Amino acid sequence: MKRPQIASAQLLGTESIGRLLVQYSVPAIIASVATSLYNIVDSIFIGQGVGPMAIAGLAITFPLMNLVVGFCTLIAVGACTISSIFLGQKNLARATETVNTAMVLCLLHAVVFGTLTYIFLDPILRLFGATNETIQYAAEFTKVILYGTPIAYVFIGLNNIMRATGYPKKAMYSALISVGVNIILAPIFIFKLEWGIAGAAWATVAGQTVAFVWVLCHFFSKKSYVHFDFRCGFFSIPIIKRIYAIGLSPFLMNATACFVVVFLNKSLLSVAGDLGNIAVGAYGILNRTTMCFVMIVFGVTQGMQPILGYNFGAGNWPRVKKTLYRGIWIGVAITCVGWIITQTLPDQLSRLFTRDQEMIDIARVGYHIYFIVYPVVGAQVVIQNYFQSIGKPMWSIILSLTRQLIFLVPLLAILPKHFGIDGVWGSMAASDFLAFAMAVIVMIFNTIHFNRLYRAGTLTQVIHHRSSPNNNTDTDNAQTSNPTH
C-alpha cells in the first residue's frame, strides 16, 4: 500500500488542474501575502516611529536586499524545480540528493555573501544612493539582516523545496510563523525598547529563526516523503550544475533589480533636487505597494511550479498548457485589483507609511503613472516563471532581463531628462508593457514547438534527455526509489 504522501505527489499528474491550483497556490499565496504584509508593516512602523528619512534609508537598502534574496533564490528555485521534475520521473533518490545538496549550498552562499557584504557595507550603500542623511538608517537595518543570512537562506531555500515536494500547507505555516513572530516583535523593539530601524531588522531575524527550526524539523523527520538522508550525496556536482542553470534566472532577476533600483535612486536624486531623499522615499512606498501584489502572483507561480514540473517531467503536455493558461488569467486578475486600488486610493496608501505631505504628493503622481499598465504585469510574471518551472532557464532569464534591464535602463536614461520625476515613473510603466509583449511572443512560439513534439510522440524522450544529471540518455535508474523507503 502506498504511503499517503506518495499518493499525494502522484495526484499532481491526475487530479484536476483547478483543484491542484487551489491546493498548492492558496497556501503559497497566503504565505506570500503574509511575507509582503510584514514588509509593509515593517515600513509602516519605521515610517511612523522613526521618520521620513528612515523610510528613505530603508528604500536605499532595497537593492542590497534584492541581492541577498537573489543569492538565496539561485539555490531555492533551482532545487525545487529539479526535485519536482525528479519526482515526476519517480526518481526519489535524486530528489533526496537535491535536498541534501541545496542545504549545503544555502549555507555556503550565506557565509560568503554575508561576510563580504558586511565588510564593504558603507561603500556599497553609498554606491546605491545613500546620502549623509540616510546612510545611518540604511546601515543599521542592513547589518542586522546580514547577521541572520545563514538562517534566512536555509529557511527560504528548504521552504521552497518543502512546497515542491508535496507539502504546500506546511510551507505556508513556515511563512506564517515567521511573519507572526515578526509582527509581534517589531512594535515592541521599535517603540517599547526604542531600537529604531534596527528593531525592525531584529524582529525579522527572530521570525526567520523560529521558522528555520520548523523547516529543519520537517526535513530531519523520516516521516517526510523527501528528507535528509546521509546515504545520499550532499554535494552532487551534476545537480549543482543544474541548480545553478535553472536558478540563474531568478538570481539575474534580483541582481538586475538591484542594479535598476540603484539607477532609479540615482535618477530620482538627480532630477528631484532638494527633494531627492523625499523622492527616493516615495519610490520606496511605491515599491512596497507593487511588491504586495507581485508577491501574490508569485504565490500563484509557486503553486504552479510543482504541477508544471511534475507533469512536464512526466511528458503530460496538455496538463502543462492548461496550468499555464489558468495561471496567466489568475495573475492578470490579481494585478488588475492592484491597478484599481492604486488608481483610486493613492493618498490613503501613502499615509500608511508617512505623514510627510511632500512625500505623499510625489507618491500620488507615481501611483497614477507607474501603475497605468499594471494589469499586464501579472501575465508577464507568470509566463517568466513558467519557463523556470519546466527547466528552461534561458528563456526565463531573457524575459526577466527585458523587464528589469533591457527595456528599463535605456528608458531611464532618456525620459527623466525630459520629464523629470514623471519620466522615472513613465520609464517603469513602458518597460512593463514592452516586457509583457515580449513574454507573450516567446510563449506562443514555445507552445507551438512543444505541440509538435507532443503530437510526434517525442516530448518525453526529449525531457528525460535534458533532465538527466549527466545530460545524456541514461536516466540514472529513474524508476528507483530512495533506499530508505
pLDDT (tens digit per residue) in 230-277: 777 677 788 888 888 888 777 877 777 777 778 888 888 888 777 888
Q: Report CA-CA distances (Å) from 300 to 23, 211, 389, 476.
A: 11, 21, 12, 32
Residue 220: its pLDDT value, please?
84
The arithmetic mean of pLDDT across residues 82-104, rounded, is 80
Sign of CA dihedral 456, 458, 460, 463: negative
pLDDT (tens digit per residue) in 389-416: 887 778 887 887 887 778 988 998 899 9
pLDDT (tens digit per residue) in 178-229: 888 988 998 899 888 888 888 888 998 999 999 999 988 888 887 777 777 7
Residue 14: its pLDDT value, please?
67
* Residue 244 CB burial class (10 angstroms; 0-12, 13-18, ≥19): middle
Which tops the pLDDT comparison, 370 or 272?
370
At 381, the pLDDT band (50, 70, 90 cuts) reads: very high
Query: What percent of the chain is modeled with pLDDT above 90?
Result: 22
Q: Comparing 140-144, 196-200, 361-365, which segment has the lowest mean pLDDT?
A: 196-200
Q: Comparing 40-54, 140-154, 212-226, which segment has the lowest mean pLDDT?
A: 40-54
**328, 482 Cβ separation under 8 angstroms:** no
pLDDT (tens digit per residue) in 324-357: 999 999 999 999 999 999 999 999 999 888 888 8
**316, 14 Cβ separation under 8 angstroms:** no
Which tops the pLDDT comparison, 323 or 402?
323
Q: Comparing 135-149, 181-195, 452-466, which segment has the lowest mean pLDDT?
A: 452-466
Q: Please say if the pLDDT value at position 480 is more than 70.
A: no
Residue 46: its pLDDT value, please?
82
Nearest CA to 483 among 91, 12, 83, 86? Answer: 91
> Which range has the top average pLDDT, 176-180, 313-317, 428-432?
428-432
Domain ranges of the chain: 8-467
Rg (CA), the chain: 22
Q: Please say if the pLDDT value at position 463 is more than 60.
A: yes
Cell of residue 352, nine digits: 500608511
Q: Which one-letter amino acid corresponds to residue 343?
A: Q
* Residue 139 CB burial class (10 angstroms; 0-12, 13-18, ≥19): buried
Residue 5: its pLDDT value, please?
46
DSSP 51: -
At 370, the pLDDT band (50, 70, 90 cuts) reads: very high
Residue 4: its pLDDT value, please?
42
Sign of CA dihedral 323, 102, 146, 45: positive
Distance CA 119, CA 159 (A): 29
